[in-house]
A and B are shown apart, each in its own frame.
Chain A
Amino acid sequence: MKKAKATIDYKNAVITTRGLTKTFDDNAVLKGVDLDLYQGENLVVLGRSGTGKSVLIKIISGLLKPDKGEVKVFGTEITGIKENELQEIRIRIGFSFQNSALYDSMTVRKNLEFPLVRNRKKLSRPEIDTAVEEVLEAVGLSQTINQMPAELSGGQRKRIGIARTLILKPEIMLYDEPTAGLDPITCIEINELINEVQEKYHTSSIIITHDLTCAKTTGDRIAMLLDGKFEREGTFEDVFKTDDEKVKPFFDYNFIQ
């Protein structure tokens, strides 16, 4: 399925980072990352394993603190804000984890209800049920409602993980390796789902991946994280129209040239 043209507001950056640095022990992972995510845009962040792609979105969601630099989400600087202020912002961000991170002691229904009943306290029981059914339908897995996460396939878990974030109707989606470990057909389905989410929920997304098919299918803009900084940025064609030895192997490996 071809990606529909997204309506991107380039005057409105929903996420801005400036000079972001993060070091683990002696390993400097991020060395001054500047990033803008515009409203309605799907930004794909590519990079080798261990280059800090996941660290970047964990900092944006407040799970990790940067050593230096600023992170603005919806115009609010999130480093050093109070816990409840951060919580208000987090409700507007959906985070899809690499391994789905479904609560394995709860059924699919309970997984989906978990954030909803705690963040929308005024909802009645029928309203909660309707919301759960709606998101399950959006990811095409209505039949799994009473199943446990252990009974689901990798692709189904990914979809339920996305559904759990969609239930709060987020304005920003952060996808951490959405197609990692999945077969090609399921990868295509997940890529389509990411585009559907952008279209239907008008989300702005950061997609962390090293799957170039995913990048090409879902990204409005690609940014390549090399040596702790964004070295190349632009459309898919712009980024890979190069003989740079650090970039070329990505393309060659993914498209077997």
Chain B
Amino acid sequence: MTTGNNALPELQTKTESSFKRWLTGIFISLYKVYQFISRFFREVFFPPYEFKEVLKQCYEVGVRSLLLISLTGFIVGVIFTKQSRPSLSEFGATSWLPSLVSIAILRALAPLVTALIAAGKVGSSIGAELGSMRVTEQIDAMEVSGTKPFKFLVCTRVIATSLTVPVLAMYTGFVALIGGYLNVSQNEGTSYTTYMEQVFEPLVFVDFWSSLAKSILFGFTIGIVGCYQGYNSSKGTEGVGKAANAAVVTAMFLVFIEEVIIVQIFGWFR
């Protein structure tokens, strides 16, 4: 039995060893992720290419998120405009509303909202799909038949998310601006042409590039995280659930971190 005198050092040793295990676990996981991403870049540029599967996945990613993205984009546009009006009207600056909306939406909100929705809808679905394929030995079956499951399952999905998320982000931006326009025209009676002129006036070329770069990176992150979690999911149905969940949580977390970093980087070019 542990006496009161040596209980504390024992607890300290236990805590230290579990901390060491946790830290080692983190480094091992990071190394595995590094290996997975390196494998993606080693395989993606070399034949055989799975063009048909890439197109199929692009369609899946795009269509699967379109309805939710349309709705969310529109609501973001309306609400953002509505909530910004009182602050601007205090200074008698409601005419700046379209410019404010365009900067906020096109620079930050459209790529971010799209990425978060895609992480939830697409990331979880990729994690669950590949996870269940791993559990039911479908990935092993591909491997033993002399084909390359990594190329067919991982490369195609990551390319699809990297290509489709930027397109969806542009679409979200457009829908959000329409939402903003409805609110502005209702309150200020601004015409569509004037609204659009004011929307594009404050934007510079670097805004377009930063949004595009962000969206591509977000798409890549969502794809690679979903694939990594699914492809390496442990056996059993519990593993499939965990893979889907981890795909969403990790992707969202990384998207926020990337957003902060990219904003800083492009801030230097402005």
Contact = CB atoms under 8 A, between A and B. Distances in A.
Interface string B126-141: 0001000100111011
B147 A118 contact: yes
B144 A114 contact: no
Contacts of B148: 87, 118
B145 A165 contact: yes
Interface in A93-124: 93, 95, 97-99, 101-105, 114-115, 118-119, 121
A115 B136 contact: no
B138 A104 contact: yes
Interface residues of A, number: 26
B138 A101 contact: yes
A91 B146 contact: yes
A168 interface: yes
Contacts of A103: 133, 138, 141-142
Nearest to A174: B144
B144 A93 contact: yes
B136 to A, nearest CB: 6
A164 interface: yes
B138 A119 contact: no
A118 B146 contact: yes
Nearest to B146: A91
Contacts of A98: 137
B140 A114 contact: no
Contact of A63 (B48, B129, B140, B146): B140
A114 B142 CA distance: 9
A199 to B, nearest CB: 23
A165 B143 CA distance: 12
A118 B141 CA distance: 14
A118 B144 contact: no
> How many B residues touch the partner, as a band?
10 to 19
Contacts of B48: 118, 121
Contact of A99 (B133, B136, B144): B136
A61 interface: yes
Nearest to A58: B140
A164 B138 contact: no
A94 B141 CA distance: 10
A99 B146 CA distance: 19
Interface string A119-154: 101000000000000000000000000000000000
A216 interface: no
Nearest to A88: B146
A232 interface: no
Contacts of B140: 58, 63, 97, 101
Contacts of B137: 97-99, 101
Contacts of A65: none
Contact of A87 (B136, B138, B141, B146): B146
A8 B140 CA distance: 30
Given A101-B136, A103-B138, A63 B145 contact: no
B26 to A, nearest CB: 21
Nearest to B143: A63
Contacts of A164: 141, 145
Nearest to B132: A104
Contacts of B141: 95, 97, 101-103, 164
Contacts of A114: 142, 145, 147
A90 interface: yes
Interface in B102-160: 129, 133, 136-138, 140-148
Contacts of B138: 101-104
Nearest to A167: B145
Contacts of B133: 103
The 7 closest A-B pairs by CB, nearest first: A115-B145, A101-B141, A91-B146, A101-B137, A95-B144, A90-B146, A118-B147
Interface of A: 58, 61-63, 87-88, 90-91, 93, 95, 97-99, 101-105, 114-115, 118-119, 121, 164-165, 168
25 contacts: A58-B140, A62-B143, A62-B144, A63-B140, A63-B144, A88-B146, A90-B145, A90-B146, A93-B144, A95-B144, A98-B137, A99-B136, A101-B138, A102-B141, A104-B138, A114-B142, A114-B145, A115-B146, A115-B147, A118-B48, A118-B147, A119-B145, A119-B146, A164-B145, A168-B145
Given A90-B143, A91-B145, A95-B141, 10 more contacts: A63-B144, A90-B144, A97-B141, A99-B136, A101-B137, A101-B138, A105-B129, A114-B142, A114-B147, A119-B147
